[in-house]
Amino acid sequence: MMKLLTIAAVLGFASLGYAAEGGMRLSSSAFSHGGTIPKAYTCEGEDRSPPLAWHGVPQGSRSLVLIVDDPDVPDPKAPQRVWVHWVLYDLPPEDGELAAGVAGAGLPQGTQEGLNDWERTGYGGPCPPIGRHRYFHKLYALDTTLATVPHANKATLLKAMTGHILADAELVGTYQKGQ
């Protein structure tokens, strides 16, 4: 067993995101869980969304929700709020992926875009004012769809999701300006 764990770590399987109860996993080919998000996916780069992939979506799922946020605003040493960077919902309920820089018509059919904290749809990359911030990419499998909630923000979605979450997965990346 130890040999298998060592082989998995060497082959890079340890870079998979955190798998919460239910076995669903979220990962990125651009950064590992707990690793640094490359500059291309931030305000100092191209400010495009990173590639994401997920596996282990439970049977009975009717949709997926992706929320990306930063709980370290404005300063990780004295956080005052959570800043929402990206909200997608009604993603197809199957194992899948999002390509780097995906937006609008490039999203999987049926996917809805919610409002981020810039009060617009779409991805807004890491742009921390001070220190190294954590960026939580959270994927939820639901037993329902949320199409009746147009351009919802995180708070509205979390309320609508109550009692409908079958599984969740999380991938955390970090970023600090100037690195």
Q: At 22, is the pLDDT very low, low, confident or very high (cuts 50, 70, 90)?
A: very low
* Ordered alpha helix ranges (H), 55-163: 154-161
For the residues 38-57, what does the mean pLDDT come to? 98
Q: Is 101 exposed, middle or buried (0-12, 13-18, 19+ CB in 10 A)?
A: middle
The tokens describing 82, both together, are 């959570």
pTM of the predicted structure, to 2 decimals: 0.87
At 85 the pLDDT is 98
Return the pLDDT at 164. 98
Closest CA relative to residue 13, chosen from 24, 23, 25, 21: 25
pLDDT at residue 97 in the model: 98
pLDDT greater than 70 at residue 10? no
Residue 91 confidence (pLDDT) above 60: yes
Q: Determine the pLDDT at residue 5.
A: 34
Question: Per-residue pLDDT averaged across 149-160, rounded?
Answer: 92
Mean pLDDT of the chain: 89
Residue 149: predicted pLDDT: 79
Q: Are 50 and 28 in contact (CB under 8 A)?
A: yes
Percent pLDDT > 70 in the chain is 88
Helices (H) and strands (E) in the chain, counts: 2, 9
Look at residues 179, 175, 172, 177 and name the one whose alpha carbon lies nearest to residue 32.
172
Q: How far apart are the first and last CA of the chain?
A: 38
Q: Which two tokens stand for residue 111?
A: 């996917």
Please state, as a whole number, how many other Cβ atoms lie within 10 Å of the Cβ of residue 117: 17
Strands ordered across the beta sheet of 25-27: 25-27, 52-55, 96-98
Domains in the chain, CATH or no CATH each: 17-175 (3.90.280.10)
Tell me how far apart the alpha carbons of residues 94 and 96 are, in angstroms, rounded to a whole number. Answer: 6
